[in-house]
Amino acid sequence: MPPLEQLIPVSSSVSLHTILTTPAKTPPTNPAVVLLHFWGGSNHTYQPLITHLSRDFPIIVPSLRGWGTSSRPPDAEAYRTADYATDIIALLHTLSSDYPEVFANGVILVGHSMGAKIAQFMLTQKYQLPSFVRIKGLVLLAPAPAGSFSLPPEMKEQQVHAYDTAASAEFVARNVLLGTPGAVDDTIVEELVTDAIAGSKGARVAWPEYGMSEELGGEVARAVRDHREREGALRVLVVVGELDVVETVASVMERTVNELSASGATVEVHIIPGIGHLSPVEAPRVVADAIRSFLV
């Protein structure tokens, strides 16, 4: 099936711009990979990774509500982790009805930063999925923890306005998100800036205002324990950049790896030297190889 790119309704008021690719080999023999992007991105952020993975895996890549060309709910409180997760569950319902063969081998949720918090939370909602759409594992890239994290007031205010203008978004991309200011070509930085400032105001503000402080760790821990009891230990791959100053190696180990391991998950960790927060952009081939080794 040739790649599809369409706006898919997931509720009466929200549609998600979604890319779906399937390998030439039919039916697919590997799980479908669902890619959830970071705060400030869109499904376009994953284009380099799609290129490296689409030969072997069915790939499903939505732009989350408020980002890319997906719907933009006007309610400032409409961008909670549960809202994002509900959208993705509805999306998978629709796609599994239209393309059941894509889900024959289950799904792997890949979440980057904010997307990783959404992926972890989706474990708590897995019984809302069609019975044959089984979550077989998680891949967490520079993951935001499932637990609450609050910024100091001054830093929070800076993040709220990080994507207000092209200049501020470029500063954040080069000096906070990338491992080094010149880690990628200027054209890629321009694409990152375009995505960031194109996000709806609600989506841009929600993550620093309330998204990162949502306390979901207990729910996720119970879901991981439930998975272990019913299906065996959940397999998780965590990928983090050595130079990441947003989700540092130490923080990821303490707040994500250790928490998931303590709940009974089997967690592998891959640290990429010389890379910052944007591993899908900075090192897509390395990330793709890590995912492929984890899944195949």
Measure Cα distances from 101 to 3, 22, 52, 217 in Å.
15, 10, 21, 33
CB burial string 238-259: b at 16+ within 10 A, e below? bbbbebbebbbbebbbebbbeb
Q: How many domains does the chain have?
A: 1
Q: Is residue 203 part of a domain?
A: no
Measure Cα distances from 94 to 11, 15, 106 in Å.
11, 12, 15
Q: Is residue 194 part of a domain?
A: no
Instruction: Identify the CATH number of the domain in which residue 256 sits.
Output: 3.40.50.1820
Q: Is residue 236 part of a domain?
A: yes
pLDDT at 151: 83
Tens-place pLDDT, residues 277-291: 999 999 999 999 999
pLDDT at 172: 96
Q: How confident is the model at residue 99 (pLDDT cuts 50, 70, 90)?
A: very high
Q: Is residue 259 part of a domain?
A: yes
**Host domain of residue 222:** 4-147+214-295
Question: In this model, does residue 27 exceed pLDDT 80?
Answer: no
- pTM, entire model: 0.97
Question: In this model, does residue 1 exceed pLDDT 80?
Answer: no
Q: Is residue 105 part of a domain?
A: yes
**What is the CA 225 to chain-centroid distance, rounded?**
22
Q: Is residue 166 part of a domain?
A: no
Looking at this protein, which amino acid is placed at residue 11?
Answer: S
